[in-house]
Structures are given as structure tokens and as C-alpha cells.
Amino acid sequence: MSEPLWTSDAIAAATGGKLDGQPFAVNGVSIDSRAIEPGDLFVALAGVRDGHDFVPGALADGAAGSLVTRPVQGSAIVVEETLKALEKLGIAARVRAPQTRRAAVTGSVGKTSVTQAVRAGLELAGRAHSSVKSYNNHIGVPLTLARMPADTERAVFEIGMNHADEIEPLVKFVMPHVVAITTVGPVHIENFPDGEAGVARAKAEIFAGIEPGGIAVLNADDSWFDYLKGEAAKAGAKVQSFGAAAGSDARLVSFSAEPGKATVEAVIAGRPLTYSLRQTGAHWGPNSLCVLLVLEALGVDRATALQALADFEPLAGRGAEQTVAIAGGAFTLIDESYNANPISMKAAFRTLGARATKGRRIVALTDMLELGEEAANFHAGLEEPISAAGIDLVFAAGPLMKSLFDALPPTRRGGYAEDAAKLAPQVASAVEPGDLVMVKGSNGSKAGAVAAALLALDRAPVGGA
């Protein structure tokens, strides 16, 4: 029988809390009563509603005990503040597993996909642990740590931010041996008076928690590379670079995509390497090199890393591709509806422009959010990369995307609506067999509604003798 993740005694020792009720042991940690698995510890966090209100329901669904600030139904560890206690539990999980090699990933674009691809490699290599979904904030990072089994060999954590001074405390929980910054760009810049420079400084906070002698994996094509390299050096980290830039430790030579797969040619440590991906977005050229460097730094052999990349499927809303059958044939949908910013938009257009298609290249776009006072200009500025990519039709939704729609020549205007829900039927009625259709926008501007409407068109192929 395997050891439990935590015993009530260990939780109490880690958090400074006291047991109320009978001793218990848990195999998981949850902050969401709706997602309780049998044997979980339920952490009653303060939120829109008091988490203590959900303890009875969590126990009914199989929670073994809870972490609370006052006595409740069932067995519990009582602490002064549950979020602080969760942080302490996460730190205790790290301290009790000194053998674990840890990595932390941040970046304006691509951090979730890179984290999950690294996770795939770690799982092939041995006992692994990682962030799930985008658990990258002040709750998600300590929660992910608290869930880490004591016998974990390697782990990877995603770390995000919206403001300055958010990454540093999170990375100090993790204390990674390896950090990666995928890229720096105009994301969340409405929260930074000096724009991208502020974003770059905030991303550089990740070096504050790196273990002595650690490795920093950085994007050599990024305009902030020299600054980040310098900050990494100040922290005593060894820099490993990736990208198309000459002199990169992992240098991208070429990226070629076709339906459902892509081929990357690269030179790593002076040796040529060719490998396959299921990802078709051009940004996966540099992303995959970042993944390879992180895995190597964590002690995963090259063959295992390449196998993980070859098998890694696009995440929902982050480049997942599907053939949608409609009357007369089918079209290809590329779903990029989870996130968007000027960097990822331009990369997506380049990818679309490089793809062969029998029909038209169509994009359906919703607002990019958190871009500050220059938001309208960032949107209007997408006209140039759209034109360069040879995109045939543009559908746009939202007040900010109106700036782009107005900047387009009439021949490229597919349709405009106030929001995604109103745009969806326009796009659905316009697609034809052979078209290559990409949906992209910020999650908050509901681009997923357009993707869902297009998927709903799918019909079984019409057969007949």
C-alpha cells in the first residue's frame, strides 16, 4: 500500500495548526468542493463565499479532512489563515523532497503550453509532478507544491503575473533548479506605466528564487534577451539560449508544417537535429527548443524528450486542429481561442499563411485584453501581418477589434459584430469546404463561442451507394 500524500500530523506540523477530531490521511489537496476526489484534503479558502460553507459538501463527496480556521463538521486541521497554511504546506512538500529537480516556466506567451510539454517529458522519464491547467498564481503555485508526492523525481511549475512583485514570492516557494522565460511582450501592459520594460522586469523576478548554480533558459530572439541574460547572471544562473538567432545554444534552422504535424530542423550544442511535432503553429519551433533545453537541464535524455514532443497534442484553445464535415466536404478549424496578444496574433497569422490549403484562409478574431491606452493601435496594427500572410477573410468581434476591421481593405472584411456570440453565426454561415479557419482572441472576450459554433457544424459524412 502506497504512503499517503499527507497525514493529519504532518499537515499540522507543516502549518502550525491543531487537529480537531480524529486523525486522518489524505491523497490529494483541493480548494474546490466541486472537484473533490475521495481522500482529498479540502482547503477552505476565503473568496466570494467563505470556503467553510462548503466543508459539509466536500466531506459528503469523500474528503478525508479539511484545513480551516474554526472547528467544522468532521476532522480538520485548524489554522489562523488557510491561504498562509496552504503556502506553508507547499514549502513543506518541497523541503521533504530534496531529491526533486524542479523547473519553473514563465513568459508573456506560451508558458502553459511549454509547461505541459515539459510535463509530458517528465512523465516519460520517471516520477513526475507539475501544474495542471494554468495553476500559476498565488493560490495555484502553493497548491501545486502541496500536491507534490514526497518521492517525486522531477517537477515543473508554471508561474504567471499581472503586476510587478507577483512572480518573486511564487518562485521562492518553488526554488527551481531551472527557470525558463518563453518570451516578453505587450501583455498586461495596462498594469505597467513603462510598458514592456516593466513586463521584462517582472518576468526577471523569476531569477530571485533560482537555486544556486541553476540554469536559465532564455529566448535569444526576444528583444529583452540581453537584459534578461544580465539579470540571470546577477542571480548566478547559467544561461542556455534558444531561437533562430546565431549563437543560440539550441538554434532553429527551419520549421515546416502540414495538416496535423510539423518538422523542426535545429542545431543543438553544435549538432544538427531533425524531429517531428503534432503542433503546427510556427511558434512551436522555438517553443520546442525551449522544452528540450528545460528537459535536458532536468536530466531527461534526448530520446525521451523527443518522444514526448512527438506525442504531445495541442491543448484545447491553444492550437488544437480539427476537420469539420459540412455539406459538400469539410473545412479545417484551428482553435486558438484561449488567449491572444500582439505577439501570439502575429505568430498565428504567419502560421496560417505558411499552410497550404485548397480553400480560403479565414480568421475570426475577438478583442485582445489588458493592453492599456495603446490597445486600439495594437489591434489596428494587426492589418499588416494579416496582409503579409495572405489571409483572405477577417471576421472581428468587440470594440477593440473594430479598429482592425476599419483598417482592413474591403476585400478582406468578412464581417463584424459587437461580441463573439453575435459574430459566431456570421462565421458559421460563411465557411465553405476546403477553407482553413483560425479562431483567436482573449479568453475574456469569449472567442471560444466562435470556435464552438464552428464545431457545432460538424456532421457525419453523407454516404451512398
Among 311, 336, 362, give the residue marking a domain's end. Answer: 311
Q: What's the pLDDT score for residue 189? A: 62
CA–CA separation, 330 and 323 (whole Å) = 6
Cα separation, 456 vs 430, whole angstroms: 14
Query: Do 198 and 269 fall within a single domain?
Result: yes
**Does 254 fall in a domain?**
yes
The reply to whether 461 falls in a domain is no
**Structural domain tally of the chain?**
3
| 104 & 217 share domain | yes
Q: Based on the domain organization, do 243 and 114 belong to the same domain?
A: yes
pLDDT of residue 177: 98
Integer Cα distance of 305 and 260 in angstroms: 20
CATH number at residue 380: 3.90.190.20
Q: Show the low-confidence residues of the chain (pLDDT under 70).
A: 1, 187-189, 191-193, 460-465
The pLDDT of residue 188 is: 64
Give dist(CA 395, CA 447) in Å, integer: 11
Element (H, E) at 177: none
CATH code for the domain of 216: 3.40.1190.10
* Number of helices (H), then strands (E), in the chain: 16, 22
- Rounded distance between C-alpha atoms, residue 13 and residue 6, angstroms: 11
Show which of 264, 283, 311 is a domain's final residue: 311
Q: What Cα–Cα distance (Å) separates residue 172 from each residue in 11, 85, 138, 177?
A: 20, 16, 12, 11
pLDDT at 296: 98
**Is 215 part of any domain?**
yes
Residues 287 and 211 in one domain: yes
Contact (Cβ atoms closer than 8 angstroms) between residue 45 and residue 83? yes
How far is CA 193 from its chain centroid? 25
- The overall longest dimension of the chain from CA atoms, in Å, is 74
**What span, in angstroms and rounded, lies between the C-alpha atoms of 9 and 24?**
8
Question: What confidence tens digit (pLDDT) does each residue in 205-260 have?
Answer: 999 999 999 999 999 999 999 999 999 999 999 999 999 999 999 999 999 988 78
Interval 53-69: pLDDT, tens: 999 999 999 999 999 99
* Average pLDDT value for the chain: 93
Q: Do 288 and 431 lie in a common domain? A: no
Same-domain status, 119 and 237: yes
Please give the pLDDT value at position 187. Answer: 67
Asked whether 11 and 17 are in contact (CB, 8 A), the reply is yes
Q: Give the global pTM.
A: 0.80
Is residue 464 a part of any domain in this protein? no
Using CA atoms, how far apart are residues 294 and 217, in angstroms rounded to an integer?
Answer: 7
Domain identity same for 124 and 244: yes
The reply to whether 465 falls in a domain is: no
Taking CA atoms, 446 is separated from 255, 307, 333, in Å, by 30, 34, 17
Single out the residue in 80, 107, 132 at which a domain terminates: 80
- The three cell numbers of residue 98 are 530534496
- For the stretch 298-326, pLDDT in tens is 999 999 999 999 999 877 777 888 899 99
**Residue 167: what pLDDT?**
96
Exposed/middle/buried for 246, CB within 10 Å: 0-12, 13-18, 19+? Answer: exposed
| Model pLDDT, residue 386 | 96
Q: 44 and 122: one domain? A: no
Q: CB–CB of 29/129 below 8 Å?
A: no
Shared domain check, 115 and 58: no
**CATH classification of the domain holding 39:** 3.40.1390.10
Sheet of 28-30: strand order equals 18-20, 76-78, 65-68, 40-43, 28-30
- Domain holding 333, by residue range, is 320-455
Pairing mode, strands 436-440 and 361-366: parallel
- Residues 103 and 173: their CA atoms lie apart, in Å, by 12
Residues 158, 68 within the same domain: no
Quote the DSSP letter at residue 372.
G
> Among positive and negative, which fits the CA dihedral 87, 91, 94, 96?
negative
Do 173 and 217 share a domain, yes or no? yes
The bridge status of strand 271-277 relative to strand 261-268 is: antiparallel
Q: Is position 463 within any domain? A: no
Together in a domain, 131 and 45: no
Type and span of the H or E element at 26: strand 25-26
- Residue 90 maps to a domain: no
CB atoms within 10 A of CB 177: 22
Is residue 218 included in any domain, yes or no? yes
How far apart, in whole angstroms, are the C-alpha atoms of residue 431 and residue 409? 20
